[in-house]
Amino acid sequence: MSDTAAPRARHAKHAKSFSRPPSKPRSGSSRGGRTAGGAKPASLWSDAWQDLRRRPLFIASAVLIGVILLMAVAPGLFTSVDPYDASTCRLGDARQAPSALHWFGTDNQGCDTYARTVYGASNSLLVGLCTTVATVAVGGLLGLVAGFRGGLPDALLSRVTEVFFAIPSVLGALLILAVFRAGTVWTVTLALAVLAWPMTFRIMRAAVITAKSQDYVIAARALGASNRRIMFRHVLPNSMASVIVVATINLGVFIAAEAGLSFLGVGIQSPEISWGLMIADARPRFLEAASPLLFPAAFLSVTVLAFIMLGDAVRDALDPKLR
Amino acid sequence: MGRYILRRLLQAIPVLLGATLLIYAIVFALPGDPIASMYGDKRAPENVVNAMREQYHLNDPFIVQYWHYISGAFQGNFGRTFAGVEVSSIIASKFQVTLNLAFTALVMEAVIGVGLGLYAALRRGRAQDTMVLASTLVLISVPTLVTGFVLQLLLGVKLKQSTGIEFFPISGVADGLHSYLLPAFVLAGTSIAYLTRLTRTSLAETLRADYIRTAVAKGMPRRRVVGRHALRNALIPLVTYLGADLGTLMGGAVITETIFNLPGIGQELFRSVYERQQPVVVGIVTLLVLVYILANLIVDLLYAVLDPRIRYE
C-alpha cells in the first residue's frame, strides 16, 4: 500500500502550494481520512510522517531521544546509585578509573560518574524543552500577528527584534543570569528564551507573509471567512513547518547553551546535577583524570546530535524541494 | 553609495540605543553595591561612599544615569571603573585578544568551510560527499565546551607527550599567533560545518545554471568554470554568513577564552559582572553591537563588488 500511496501524496503536496486540494477522501490511504474535519491541513503532516518513518536518520535520532527521555524521566532504571545522596560518595575513592563497580570511574569527590551523568539528563532536557516551548509560543505568536497584520505592529516588533539580534547571546544570557544570584532550571530557561525568541519570530513572520498571499487564503477571504479563522485555520498550519524544523534543531542548541552557562558558573548550581556543571567540576584535575569530564561531555554531545539529526530529518521530510 | 552608507548608519542608531538601554537596564538590576564591594568585609566610610555615589551619578534615577553614560559614549568617553581606570584602556587591551581569536577563527572558517563545501559539491551524491555531510553533522552537534577540552587533551597534551614537540600551546597568549590556532579552531568548529553545508548547497545550485553549461560547452577548462563562474556566483550567501558570524564569534568566545585561559573581553565581562563594574560591562556589549552592525554593513557593500548587477543609490 505504501508504495502506491507515496507518489500520490507527494503529488498532492506540490499541488498544495498552488491551491488547497479539494476535500475528496484520499483513496488508498486510510491514514489521511481518519482525522475527519481537520483532514485537509493534516495532509502535509501525515505525508511528512509517511516519509519520515522510513528515514534511517529519523529512526536513529528517535531511538536516541527515546533513551535520553527515559533517562530523564526514570534515571533509577539505569543506575541503582542515587547521586543526590551524598553518602554514596567516598572521598577516598576519588578519581578512580572506570571499573566494574564504577562504569565511568569516579569524580573529584569520589562520586560515581555514571550515576551523576544519568541523573544529569533531566535538567538538560527540561531546559531544552521549556526554552523551545517558550520561544515557539512567544516568537511564533508575535510572528503570526506581525506577519498577518503588517503595518505598525509589524514595524515595531521588527525593530525590537533587531535590537535583540545585535546583542551577543552568550554574553546576554550571562548578564541576565547574573541578575538572579543563583541560577536554576527556570532562570536559565528565562535567559535563553529572552534572547532566542526573535529568531522564531523572524521565521514565523516570513512564513506567514508567504502563506497569506497564497490563493487558498484569498479564496477563503472571498468566501467570507473571518480574519481569525484565516489566521488559525489556513495561515498558521501552513506556516508551522519551518518553525518546527528550527525549534527541533534549537532544542539541541539550547541544551548545549545550558551546559555552557552552567560550566561558566552562572547556570544550574550544585547540588543540582548538570552536565555543564560536571565538566566545570572535573576541569581542575582534567589532565590527571579525564573520565569525569569526558563522559558527561559525550552524553551532552550525543543528546545535541540526536536533536539536530531529528531536525535535519524533519526538514527533509517537510520540504519537498530538497528531495 | 555615500548616501546608502549614511542611511544605513542612521538606521543603526536606534538599534544601538535600544541595545545599550537594554544592557544598561540589566546591569542596573544587578544585585549588590559596587562601592561596598570594593571594601570587602570592612564598612566603607560614609563620606567616601557619598562622594563616590555623587561622582558616578549613582543617586540619579536610572534614565538619567543612562543619559550620562550614552552622552559620554558619543563623545568617546566610556567612563571610568570604580577604581578610577579608564574603561576604554581596559577594553582596548582585552579587545585585541578577542579580535585576534575571532579573526583567526574567521579565516579558518572561510578556508576550511569553502574548501570542504567545494569538494563536496563537486562530488555530490558520492561517498566523499556523504562523508563531508556526516562530519558536518558531528561538528555542528558537539558543543564548543566539548571540542575545547577534547582537543586540548589530544592535540595539546597527548601529542606533546608522545612526540616531545609542542604543536599547540593550550593556555595563554604568550606565543603570539601560534597560541591562537587551537582555540580559534575550537571557536570556529560549528561555523565551519554550517559554512561547508552552505557552500555545498549554493555551489550545487550554481553549477546547474545555464551559463555554466555554456562555459563547459565552449570548452573552458573545468578549473576556470568552477573558479571564475560558479564559485563567484555562489559567494553571496557565503559572504553574508561570514559577515554575520564575526559578531557571533566575538560574542561567543567567552567559553573558548575560559577553556584556553585567553585574557579576552569575554573573561573581562565575566569578571566585571561580578565586580559590578557597570561601565565596563556596558562598554563591552556596546562595542560588540557596533562590530555586529559594521560587519553587516560591510557585507552589504561587498554584494556590489561580487555582483555588479547590485547597485546602491
pLDDT beyond 80 at A36: no
> How many beta-carbon pairs below 8 A join chains A and B?
124
Running DSSP on this structure, what letter comes out for residue B281? H
**Cβ–Cβ gap A167/B274 under 8 Å:** no
CB B216 within 8 A of CB B225: yes
Query: Which range has highest mean pLDDT (A41-50, A101-110, A245-254)?
Result: A245-254
Q: What is the pLDDT of residues B226-280, one digit of tens each?
A: 888 888 888 888 988 998 888 889 888 889 998 888 898 888 888 888 777 778 8
**Cβ–Cβ gap B248/A175 under 8 Å:** no
Mean pLDDT of all residues belonging to chain B: 84
pLDDT beyond 80 at A9: no
**Cβ–Cβ gap B146/A179 under 8 Å:** no
- Rounded to the nearest angstrom, the minimum Cα separation between A165 and chain B is 9
* B282 in contact with chain A, both atoms CB, cutoff 8 A: no
Residues of chain B with Cβ-Cβ distance to A174 below 8 Å are 254, 269-270, 273
Q: What is the pLDDT of residues A57-68, one digit of tens each?
A: 899 999 999 999
pLDDT beyond 90 at A23: no
**Cβ–Cβ gap A166/B251 under 8 Å:** no
Fold of B91-264+296-306: MetI-like fold (1.10.3720)
Give dist(CA A97, CA A105) in Å, integer.
Answer: 5
pLDDT beyond 80 at B121: yes
Which secondary structure element, helix H or strand E, spans residue A192, and what is its range?
helix A185-212
Domain residue limits, chain B: 91-264+296-306
Give the global pTM: 0.84
pLDDT category at A182 given cuts 50, 70, 90 is confident
CB A197 within 8 A of CB A139: yes
pLDDT category at B188 given cuts 50, 70, 90 is very high
**Cβ–Cβ gap A181/B31 under 8 Å:** yes
* B193 in contact with chain A, both atoms CB, cutoff 8 A: no
**Cβ–Cβ gap A169/B251 under 8 Å:** yes
Give percent of chain A above pLDDT 70.
85
**Cβ–Cβ gap B19/A179 under 8 Å:** no
Mutate to test the interface with B, among A68, A171, A253, A277 (most CBs of B within 10 A): A171
* B298 in contact with chain A, both atoms CB, cutoff 8 A: no
ipTM: 0.84
**Cβ–Cβ gap B137/A309 under 8 Å:** yes
Which pLDDT belongs to residue B83? Answer: 66
b/e map A22-42, b = 16+ CB within 10 Å = eeeebeebebbeeeeeeebbb
pLDDT beyond 70 at A17: no
How many CB atoms within 10 Å of residue A280? 20
Q: Nearest-CA residue of chain B relative to A158?
A: B15
b/e map A43-80, b = 16+ CB within 10 Å = bbbbbbebbbeebebbeebbebbeebeebbeebeebbe
